[in-house]
Amino acid sequence: MAFQSKNKELIMQAGSLFLISAPSGAGKTSLVNAALNADPKLVVSVSHTTRPARGGEVDGENYFFVSDDQFVQMIDEGKFLEHANVFGKRYGTSKAEVAAKRALGQDVILEIDWQGAQQVRDAIPDAISVFVLPPSVDELAARLTSRGEDTAQSIEKRLGEAKLDMSQAIHFDFLVINADFEKALQDFTSVVSAARLTKAVQLQKNDVKELVGADI
């Protein structure tokens, strides 16, 4: 899928932005959900989409559901950090959605593919990127097979796509190997904790600025 981005800009805000990518079957979504359940300061960015809502989905909670005309207007107005056309339906990450949550001091997670992550990093250079890897290609194949959702041909195609995805991991800030789920979760939460201790984040606190004599 092809991603586009407009308007490079860096706005220093209280919360951090985490970009999480992985090949299908690496366990990215499970890791993100577990991290969200354990840390109330972590939130996910709600994307805009032109696809119809599915059963049980709530507008503004699962997605912002918009018409194709509305989506195109948002593109023209430069309101997306990135956007994509996936099987004829549009998906996009709103600049305002991410900025508002970060301004509230929330750390925002974007689950995104490597192409989208690259576009967001161009727009927001202080974004922290994490790539989740399986322990091996064989293990990834076993996980995809165990789902029971795909044919052998489809799994072979997914593995080919996964190898391409994994070749881009070198461009990410952190690599998390999901061989053991609890260890992978610990590694990911360590990345989040470390980000909260960086100078850029800590110096946003008045008491810390006073301690170190920073005038920013």
Of 99, 88, 90, the closest CA to residue 49 belongs to: 90
What global pTM score does this model have? 0.81
User: Cα dist. 172→76, 191, 208 in Å?
Assistant: 29, 13, 30
Please report which confidence band the pLDDT of residue 116 belongs to, taking 50, 70 and 90 as the band edges.
confident
Instruction: Report yes or no on 196 lying in a domain.
Output: yes
How far apart are the C-alpha atoms of 124 and 45, rounded to whole Å? 15
Does the residue 5 lie in any domain?
A: no
- The pLDDT value recorded for residue 7 is 45
Token pair recorded at residue 197: 């201790």
> How many domains is the chain built from?
2
Query: In this predicted structure, what is the pLDDT of residue 2?
Result: 42
Instruction: For residue 216, tell me if it sits in a domain.
Output: no
Share of the chain above pLDDT 70, in %: 92
Over residues 132-155, the pLDDT tens digits come to: 999 999 999 888 888 777 788 888
Question: Does residue 58 share a domain with residue 35?
Answer: no
By residue range, what is the domain housing residue 191?
15-41+107-209
One domain, residues 82 and 96: yes
Given a cut of 60, whether residue 77 has pLDDT beyond it is yes
From CA 43, how far away is CA 68, in angstroms rounded? 27
Mean pLDDT across the chain, nearest whole number? 88
Which CATH number covers residue 127? 3.40.50.300
**Does residue 125 share a domain with residue 83?**
no
Task: Give the CATH number for residue 99.
Answer: 3.30.63.10
For residue 136, tell me if it sits in a domain. yes
Q: Would residue 6 count as lying in a domain?
A: no
